[in-house]
Structure 1
């Protein structure tokens, strides 16, 4: 390739790159630490407290059943020598069945906790998204990234919108009555 051809290709490449670079310089971006927003907004705190109380009740119930099962096991072990082989086998099978039922209840409870958390947070997340969209429009931001899940490795703190999102969310939720609540949330 001649020097003239190389210069032509270089000039063409630069002419194509310059508008792209100019457009990139006009693009404004920001990022939000969504988890921090969820934990720090008033509605998020209230939802977490409601969820925590519900979880504690479930844990207490399962713990009580576990204690009862342990007592039953101790009693079974103490009385095993006085039982016939057939009775001992039947009691062991009954105990095993109760143990499996408790484990199923524990797993079901974990799934219920995840579902309940999703239901509690869903309306709050929707409102957070609206707040972020409002800030993005006001600040003329082309993109807003989620800090943790976006693959964002580094960003200067001047692009962090987290505190502004928290302030805007809380100021738009000045009345606690208007706080989003899951449809099946327990009444206070």
Structure 2
């Protein structure tokens, strides 16, 4: 089965052949999107912003988790000496606390993922604008983002990162 990338490349080559453009005249570029999101200053700033935004909630949740584990360990240790009614009450309380902790952890992860997606979308949009700008200015025929192999001659990832870092 052909991937969409291979189909796109074959279509571009067929179009060039139909227009009489040789492979030597075809200008192709490649951008490593993962590298852009890992190395570009706006991506690093977005990551730092997310860490700062969620650090307090994460710390509080970790503290609650530590206290909950300590309470469970104490119940395991003291359980055999406690009256049945007291032990059952503490188990119910700890079970309720565990459910509340799990709910808060899920909410934190959902909020973090949502914000991460928002920040990544903003960086990706800026990167797309930079790629389009490079495409137009340097008169590329085709710029690809997801490929199996790409040689250094067609890799324009550094140009994109530098342009993003420069705020273009």
TM-score above 0.5: yes
Structure 1 counterpart SS, 2:148: coil
Asked whether the equivalents of residues 42 and 164 of structure 2 are also in contact (C-alpha less than 8 Å), the reply is no
User: Which runs of 5 or more structure 1 residues have no equivalent in the other structure?
Assistant: 1-15, 174-188
Q: Which residue of 1 aligns with 2:11?
A: none
Q: Which residue of 2 aligns with 1:160?
A: 155
Q: Which residue of 1 aligns with 2:42?
A: 43
Q: CA deviation at 1:22?
A: 3.5
Q: Which residue of 1 aligns with 2:58?
A: 59
Total equivalences in the alignment: 154
Moved over 4 A (4+): none
By relative contact order (CA 8 Å, sep 6+), the higher-ranking structure is 2
Summarize deviations over 1:18-50 as a string: whole Å, max 9, x none: 944844624422111112212322222211111
Q: CA deviation at 1:134?
A: 0.6
Q: CA deviation at 1:156?
A: 1.6
Q: Which residue of 2 aligns with 1:7?
A: none
Give the TM-score normalised by structure 1: 0.71
Report which of the two structures shows the higher radius of gyration computed on alpha carbons: 1
Structure 1 counterpart SS, 2:153: helix
Q: CA deviation at 1:113?
A: 1.3
